[in-house]
């Protein structure tokens, strides 16, 4: 089986699994249905990160959010999603979406409300270039995931950021409490500034020991491809073994390479952290996970948009929002008390970091 076939099968399996998941939600009853007063469904197009669907974490959580929305708003909204392979494909899809923004959906000439969701911070520069002069409103809108605020109050693109500092600070403190003396923060993309808060949070939480050790920082790549290199990270683990005793990898789908190595070498003595969802089932050496409820973030934004509530130009969600948390694995339950004891400090540190 070649790589393309394997990726396609993985994507189809994930989609089938989530389609068959019963969420047990009741139908929408109290929400404003004026969004669909014309009988034409509002249209949503979601573009995942490059070849991201099937990663077992962030992108699959986004798909779960889509299914949550579809199940609750049964037949009231049209949601289409694409798993693009290249930035050229993303640009083509965005361009086509805008060219058809005023295209009628029925013979009466009814133009539906349309929302484009770019589910990756890697798309923000492209979006700002393509839609710099676009006139947007609640009926024609672009939402970009986890993009930093550029301070331009006139910008019409909607975006949000999930601050990983506080959670990563707790993870760093947990690694220190485990007695780890050589920790590595491994970013998927050294140039992606949206992950620097995770890097800084872990380094600050880990601190400096009496012998002067602090966390080392590295990266898998200098571009977005660092999030899809599990095989490369798997082989790098051989070099890390014996050198580090805790690896905090903020690397998307590449993390699977580290989990695989730890499953195959459970005596290696390297602890690690899961990313985006609870990854503890993948290895007994996963102490805890940075859990991002990106499914709920998407669900809440789609629900507000459907009900014609204007999406904020920019939102910043942190540890206190409930969308992100540091979740200790059950087999390390003895560390939970320490996490809770440090939570207020993490919140304070996160606030200080955001004020810089």
Q: Give 41-163+294-320's CATH code, choosing from 3.30.470.20, 3.40.50.720, 1.20.1260.10, 3.40.50.2300.
A: 3.40.50.2300
- Which pLDDT does position 149 carry in this prediction? 87
pLDDT digits (tens, 9 = 90+) for 213-256: 899 999 999 998 998 899 999 999 999 999 999 999 999 889 99
Query: What's the pTM value of the predicted model, to 2 decimals?
Result: 0.80
pLDDT band at 273; cut points 50, 70, 90: very high
**In the chain, where the domains are located:** 41-163+294-320, 165-292+324-354
Confidence at residue 6, expressed as pLDDT on a 0 to 100 scale:
46
pLDDT digits (tens, 9 = 90+) for 191-220: 988 899 999 999 999 998 767 789 999 999
Kindly state the tokens that stand for 118. Answer: 């770019």
Mean pLDDT of 271-276: 96
Helices vs strands, H then E, count in the chain: 10, 12
* Residue (of 83, 138, 111, 92) closest to 302 by Cα position: 138
CATH T-level topology, domain 165-292+324-354: Rossmann fold (3.40.50)
Strand partners, 314: 159
Mean pLDDT, rounded, of the chain: 89
pLDDT of residue 38: 64
Domains 41-163+294-320 and 165-292+324-354 share a fold: yes
Cα–Cα distance list, 204 to 113, 219, 245 (Å): 45, 18, 17
Would you give the distance in Å from CA 64 to the centre of its chain?
12
What's the CA gap between 31 and 302, in Å, rounded? 13
Burial 242-260 (b: 16+ CB within 10 A, else e): eebbbbbbbbbbbbbbbbb
For residue 197, the model assigns a pLDDT of: 96
pLDDT tops 50 at residue 19 = no
pLDDT over 60 (residue 304): yes
| Interval 88-116: pLDDT, tens | 999 999 999 999 999 999 999 999 999 99
Cα–Cα nearest to 315, from 210, 190, 160: 160
């Amino acid at each position: 089986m070649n790589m393309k076939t394997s990726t396609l099968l993985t994507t189809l399996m994930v989609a089938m699994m989530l389609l068959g998941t019963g969420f047990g939600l009741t139908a929408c009853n109290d929400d404003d249905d004026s969004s669909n007063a014309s009988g034409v469904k509002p249209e949503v197009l979601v573009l995942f990160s490059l070849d991201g669907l099937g990663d077992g974490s962030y992108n699959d959580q986004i798909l779960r959010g889509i299914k949550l929305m579809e199940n609750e708003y049964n037949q009231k909204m049209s949601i289409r999603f694409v798993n693009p392979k290249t930035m050229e494909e993303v640009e083509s899809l965005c361009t086509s979406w805008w060219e058809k923004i005023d295209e009628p959906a029925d013979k009466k000439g009814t133009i539906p409300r349309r929302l484009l969701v770019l589910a990756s911070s890697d798309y923000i520069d492209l979006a700002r270039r393509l839609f710099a002069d676009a006139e947007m409103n609640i009926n024609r809108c672009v939402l970009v995931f986890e993009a930093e605020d550029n301070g331009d109050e006139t910008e019409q693109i909607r975006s949000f950021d999930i601050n990983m500092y506080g959670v990563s600070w707790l993870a760093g403190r947990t690694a220190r409490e485990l007695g780890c003396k050589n920790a590595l923060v491994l970013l998927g993309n050294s140039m992606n500034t949206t992950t620097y808060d995770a890097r800084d949070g872990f380094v600050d939480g880990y601190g400096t020991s009496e012998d002067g050790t602090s966390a080392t920082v590295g990266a898998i790549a200098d571009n977005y491809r660092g999030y899809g290199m599990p095989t490369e990270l798997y082989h790098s683990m051989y070099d890390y073994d014996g050198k580090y005793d805790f690896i905090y990898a903020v690397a998307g789908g590449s993390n699977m390479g580290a989990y695989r190595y730890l499953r195959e070498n459970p005596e290696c003595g390297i602890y690690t952290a899961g990313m985006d969802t609870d990854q503890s089932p993948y290895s007994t050496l996963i102490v805890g996970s940075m859990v991002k409820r990106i499914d709920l973030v998407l669900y809440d934004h789609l629900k507000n948009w459907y009900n014609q509530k204007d999406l904020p130009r920019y939102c910043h969600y942190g540890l206190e929002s409930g969308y992100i948390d540091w979740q200790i694995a059950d087999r390390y339950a003895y560390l939970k008390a320490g996490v809770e004891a440090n939570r207020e400090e993490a919140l304070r540190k996160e606030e200080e970091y955001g004020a810089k």
